[in-house]
Amino acid sequence: MSLATATAAATAAATAAATVAAARSVRAPLPVLGRDVTVPLVTGGEVGYAALDYAASAPALQRVWDDVAAYAPYYGSVHRGAGYLSQLSTELFENARRTVAEFLDCRTDDQLVFTRSTTDSLNLLARALPAGCQVFVFETEHHAGLLPWQDARVTYLDAPRTPQQAVAALARALADRDPRGPALVCVTGASNVTGELWPVRELAAAAHAHGARIVLDAAQLAPHHPLSVQDLDVDWVAFSGHKLYAPFGSGVLAGRADWLRAAEPYLAGGGASRKVARREDGGVDVEWHAGAARHEAGSPNVIGAHSIASACKALTEAGFDSLVARERHLIGKVRAGLADVPEVRILSLFGDEAPRVGVISFVVEGWNSSHFAAALSAEYGIGVRDGLFCAHPLLRALLGSDPTTRGECGAPEAAPGEKSLNAVRVSFGAGTPDEHVDRFVTAVRELVREGAKWQYRTEDGRCVPAV
C-alpha cells in the first residue's frame, strides 16, 4: 500500500467518523486515546480514568493516532534525501505547514516555523527581536510568555481585573515608551489558570496604534476556539501540539517573516545553512536560509508536524461551533457543581460572566491543594493538576498573597489537611465525556463534606497515599 493510499484510507475513515459525530448531539465527545484506560483505587477495585488535565497535555485524538500510524511505515528524512520515502516525507512535512497555516488563517506572506512547543516558539521569537526592542507583558502570563525576554527591556504590567483594564493599561504603557525603537507585546489568548478569554483583538489594536507588534500565546486558545491571525490582527501566534490533541513533540510559531528572516538562526546546524565554506584564514563562512528552514535546523520532526496538521483537520471537520457549544455545556456543569459547595472558591480575574474555555482553578477552604488533588486521583480515578501552574505571579495575585513570595510549582507548601497557597485546576476539552465531569463534581462534594477516606503523606514535595 502506498503512503497516498494509506493516508487516504485513514482520512476517509476519520472523515466518516467526524460526519457521524457532527450529526449527534453536541454532547458527543471526539474519540481520544485513553478513553478505555482503567486505574486502581486505594479503596479497592478499578475505575475508568477521568483525564481532566487537558490544559497540561490533552490526549491524542484517535484521528491523529490513525493518521500517524498510516504514515509511520513511510517515515524518511526531510528535504535532503533523494529516496522515495524521503520525498514522500518532505511532501508530507510541507503539506502540514500549509494545513496549519490555513487553520490559523495566516496572511499569504507569513512564515510558519515548526518548533518543539509554545515555550520553544516564544524563545525563538525572543532570539529574533531587533536590537533595542522593548517588550510589554502582563504578569498574568504563563512562564512561557513571561520569561523568554530576559535579554530585552521588559515592562511587566500588573494583573488587570477587567478586559477593559487590560487594554487601557497596555495603551498607557505603550504611550510612555520611546517611539523610536521597536516594541513587542506578548499576551495569552486564554488563561491556563482561569480559562478566561483575553481581549486579543483590542490589545492588538492598542499595540499597533503605538507602533508595537504583538505575539499571541494560543496554547490554551487553539484547542478550544477558532483562531484567525488576520481577524485578530496579531503579528505572530504560538501554540503546542500536545495541547491540540497531537502529543508528538511539535509546536508552531507563525507570523511576520521580517524579524525571523533578519535574525541569526535559532539553532546553528544542518538544514538552516544554505552554503558553508572554509575561509583562507581558517574560519568558516555560512550563508543561512531565508525561509522557515532558517530556524528549523537538524532533522525536522515530520511526525510531530503531521500530527498537528491532522488535529487541525479533525477540529475543523468537527466544527468549532459544535465543539464550543459542547464545552460551554461542560463548563456550566462544573461551575454550577462547584458553586454548590460553599467551601470552594473559583479563581477569576474578570468575574463569573467572563467568556472562558474549559479550564477552571479553585481552592478549597481548609484543604491543602496537593492533598485534595491526591484524593481525587487515589479515591476517584480523576486526574487534575495542583500547584501554581507555571504562572506564579498570576496565582499570587489571585490568592491575595505577597507578589514577591516565591513558590515551587507543584509543591504542597503545607501538610495534608492544612491550607496552602497552591490551587487545584480541572481542565477538559473535545474528548471529555459528561461522566468525567459528573464524577468530578460528585467527588468534590463528597471530599469536602465527608473528608478523605484514606491517609496521605508528603513525599518528595508531593502528597501521596500512605501505604
DSSP assigned state of 196: B
Alpha-carbon dihedral of residues 252, 257, 261, 264, nearest 10 degrees?
-40
Rounded to an integer, what distance in angstroms lies between the CA atom of residue 94 and that of residue 79? 10
The catalytic position among 106, 133, 186, 390 is 390
Look at residues 134, 41, 5 and name the one whose alpha carbon lies nearest to residue 443. Answer: 41
What is the Cα–Cα distance from 434 to 438, expressed in whole angstroms?
6
By C-alpha distance, which of 102, 81, 79 is closest to 90?
79
Phi-psi region of 45 (alpha: psi -120 to 50; beta: other; left: phi over 0): left
Active site residue 312: no
Cell triple for residue 56? 497540561
Cell readout for 63 is 484521528
DSSP for residue 156 = E
**DSSP per residue, 202-232:** HHHHHHHHTT-EEEEE-TTTTTTS---HHHH
Query: Angle, nearest 10°, between helix axes 200-209 and 163-175?
Result: 10
What is the C-alpha end-to-end distance of the chain, expressed in Å? 52
CA 130, CA 88: separation in Å to the nearest integer?
A: 37
Q: Active-site residues: which are they?
A: 390
